[in-house]
């Protein structure tokens, strides 16, 4: 290797590229480049998995699956009689306003260096699991922790019910009677868009309330990776 050449490690990968005087890769074929890209993506995915709580992910996945099954059963038992559509039930304008506010909030978060995806996964994270566990353990010693849990029942129920209701929409929405007078109806895609927007906002509010209610994570009871 000459003095003009240098080794450069690609972030998130195990490979080191050798660059020539012009900055081009020296001796690398397309397979090597693809390997770097794959390894970098795998590193990011491994980091996400380490931040997720296995217990909370299982609860959310079970709720979503139950919702899909429930929606399928509802669709299979749908009525042959089609209900009439009533004007004004779609509520499109309120949802247009909610959508605009949501986009504005996302822009503000991005400008502050906060990725919306990290907030979306926060209720499933290991930190959330440790905070909930710490609050539960403290309930026997501190009455204030009991009050926090009692107030948090509703937002916790919302976070569990949200995936269930979203899953139900997938197959249940195929029934015309399911969407005919729903928000965003009478079409399948319109009803799904409005429902998912409402669900995402409600779960965001629920997660925000729990963030205020739950005690800080107990450093003595850390989850290792996604093991719990």
Domain positions in the chain = 55-213
Tell me what pLDDT residue 165 has: 96
Tell whether the model's pLDDT for residue 96 goes beyond 80. Answer: yes
Tell me what pLDDT residue 19 has: 47
What confidence tens digit (pLDDT) does each residue in 166-221 have?
999 999 999 999 999 999 989 999 999 999 999 999 999 999 999 999 999 876 55
Given pLDDT bands bounded at 50, 70 and 90, which one contains residue 121? confident
> What's the mean pLDDT in 80-96?
91
Average pLDDT over the chain reads 81
Tell whether the model's pLDDT for residue 156 goes beyond 90. Answer: yes
Angle, vertex CA 134, rays to CA 133 and CA 140, nearest 5:
100
Tell me what pLDDT residue 149 has: 93
């Amino acid at each position: 290797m000459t003095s003009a050449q240098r080794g450069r490690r690609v972030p998130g990968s195990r490979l080191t590229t050798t660059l020539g005087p012009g900055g081009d890769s020296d001796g690398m074929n397309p397979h090597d480049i693809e390997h770097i890209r794959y390894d970098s993506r795998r590193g990011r995915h491994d980091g996400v998995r380490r931040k997720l709580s296995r217990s909370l992910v299982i609860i959310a996945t079970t709720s979503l699956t139950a919702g899909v099954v429930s929606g399928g059963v509802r669709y299979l038992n749908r009525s042959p009689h089609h209900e009439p559509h009533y004007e004004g039930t779609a509520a499109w304008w309120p949802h247009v306003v909610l959508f605009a506010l949501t986009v504005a909030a996302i822009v503000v978060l991005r400008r502050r260096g906060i990725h919306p995806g990290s907030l979306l996964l926060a209720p499933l994270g290991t930190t959330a699991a440790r905070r909930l566990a710490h609050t539960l353990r403290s309930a026997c010693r501190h009455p204030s922790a009991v009050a926090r849990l009692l107030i948090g029942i509703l937002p916790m129920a919302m976070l569990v019910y949200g995936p269930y209701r979203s899953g139900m929409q997938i197959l249940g929405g195929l029934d015309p009677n399911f969407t005919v007078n729903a928000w965003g109806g009478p079409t399948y895609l319109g009803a799904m868009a409005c429902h998912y927007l409402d669900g995402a906002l409600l779960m965001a509010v629920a997660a925000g309330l729990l963030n205020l209610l739950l005690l800080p994570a107990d450093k003595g009871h850390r989850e290792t990776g996604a093991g719990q």
